[in-house]
Amino acid sequence: MPASTPTAQSASLDYVEHLAEKPLRGERLSEAEGLLLLETAPLPILAQAADKFCHQLHPEDWRTYNIDRNINYTNICASKCHFCAFYRDPYNMEAYLVDEHTLDRKIEETLEQGGRQLLIQGGLHPLLRIEWYERFISYIRDKYPILHIHGLSPPEIVHISRISHVSITETLQRLRDAGLGSLPGGGAEILVDSVRKEISPAKANTQEWLEVARAWHEMGGSGTATMMFGHVETLANRITHLERIRQLQDETNGFTAFIPWVFQPTNTLLASKVTKAGSSDYLSMLALSRLYLDNISNIQVSWVTQGLEIAELGLSYGANDFGSLMIEENVVAAAGTSFTATLEEIQEAITNAGFLPKQRNVFYDLLS
């Protein structure tokens, strides 16, 4: 192989195929190599390499799914991200803050369907200080101790820290003491500040997002990482995002999974500027994520944004997890995407892909 990475124009098909199989040989892709693959590799080459690498990491004959409920405790948000169709201003007729009765009803429905986890996320509410979140989380923990609370993305943590005038570390410690169990990777979008300034200028920057994840991991906590792509970013920006996630994972080993998903432009401020990325773009990004993130065990498909058929296909493009039944989803739905699935349909999709479906928890422990 050449000593330096060739350009997209000069790379031969043989070189690209050999490059895609580096992780199978125990070698790590560089940023330049990752970009070259994203620019030039035919989808079948990426798929084959990612599927082989996934089987190397996960030789078992099953693939996993989760059952949880996404509870958006408020849609009031000071960030007003250009890519979001879910947020509302405080004075909007559709603005809300979840009440106790509604919360209990949602949780009891989750338990009835076999869910043992809540995904708690909301807007950056301009008035809610850390004491409100402590009460909210401890209420769930005390009343429903069987449930694991997977909640509050890094931008929410940064916002709570700022409005409450406490450090990131103290914010995380207090929320963990209240019952927070793990940290979702939402709000990452693309971890490049030039991109973030264009699509979410009022939200946590790259270093702040990474700081929250690092601090949580150093406390012994774990969580997921995400990427929302297909908007204003370049292919090089995507690779930079993957590199920053990989570097932090080298440092802390705190990420349990990575979830890439495609931006949904409908009803957002970017709708007139962005065409929704197609399934081939999604699958190539999914496969490259598996190859590049050699230190993150699990890659999750996004049936919520892609539908069951593409998600099923994703299990042969490097993913080993089908994500969650997601009893409730509001943010993507607000952007005009409304794929739905029953538990039986998720299990059938995994079976159709050639695997046994097995339920897991947020830590990827199998549940009976």
Answer yes or no: is 273 within a domain. no
Residues spanned by the domain of 118: 55-268+278-359
**Is residue 322 a part of any domain in this protein?**
yes
% of the chain at pLDDT higher than 90: 74
Residue 229 CA to residue 130 CA, distance in Å, equals 31
Which stretches does DSSP call E strand in 201-299? 223-229, 255-262, 298-299
Could you tell me if residue 191 is inside a domain? yes
The predicted-structure confidence for 203-229, as pLDDT tens digits, reads as follows 999 999 999 999 999 999 999 999 999
pLDDT, average across residues 118-141: 94
Mean pLDDT of 146-170: 96
Residue 173 lies in a domain: yes
Is 318 a domain residue? Answer: yes
- Listed in sequence order, the residues at least 6 apart from 345 whose beta carbon sits closer than 8 Å to its beta carbon are 308
* pLDDT for the residue numbered 304: 87
Indicate whether 80 belongs to any domain.
Answer: yes
Given this model, what pLDDT does residue 92 score?
Answer: 83
DSSP-assigned letters across all residues of 32-88: HHHHHHHHH--HHHHHHHHHHHHHHH--SSEEEEE-EEEEE-B-B-SS--TT-SS-B
If we measure between CA atoms, which residue out of 135, 230, 208, 148 comes closest to residue 183?
148
Residue 147's pLDDT band (cuts 50, 70, 90): very high
**CA-to-CA distance for 46 and 234, rounded, in angstroms?**
19
What is the pLDDT at residue 335? 42
pLDDT of residue 82: 66
Give the position of tokens 């101790």: 145
What pLDDT does residue 274 have?
Answer: 78
- Give the span between the Cα atoms of 58 and 55, in whole angstroms: 5
The answer to whether residue 108 sits within a structural domain is: yes
CA dihedral (266, 331, 321, 217) in degrees, to 10, reads 130
**Cα–Cα nearest to 188, from 248, 230, 229:** 229
Cα distances (Å, whole numbers) of residue 167 to 184, 258, 276, 355, 356: 19, 27, 38, 45, 45
Q: How many domains does the chain have?
A: 1
Q: What is the CATH number of the domain that holds 140?
A: 3.20.20.70
Q: Residues with Cβ < 8 Å from 355, sequence gap 6 or more?
A: 61, 62, 63, 315
Cβ neighbours of residue 231 under 8 Å, at least 6 residues apart? 83, 190, 199, 263, 265, 270, 274
Residues 6+ apart with CB under 8 A from 202: 78, 79, 80, 81
Identity of the residue numbered 78: A
Give residue 2's pLDDT: 46
Assess if residue 227 is contained within a domain.
yes
pLDDT exceeds 70 at position 37 = yes
pLDDT at 338: 55
Q: What is the mean pLDDT of the chain?
A: 91
Which token pair is 53? 């690498």
Q: What three-state secondary structure class fits 167?
A: coil
Query: Which residues are registered as beta bridge partners of 117?
Result: 68, 148
pLDDT at 329 over 90: no
**What is the C-alpha to C-alpha distance for residues 244 and 54, in angstroms, rounded to an integer?**
21
Average pLDDT of the residues in 313-335: 78
Q: Which residues lie below 8 Å from residue 64, measured CB to CB, with a gap of 6+? A: 298, 320, 321, 322, 357, 358, 359, 360, 364, 366
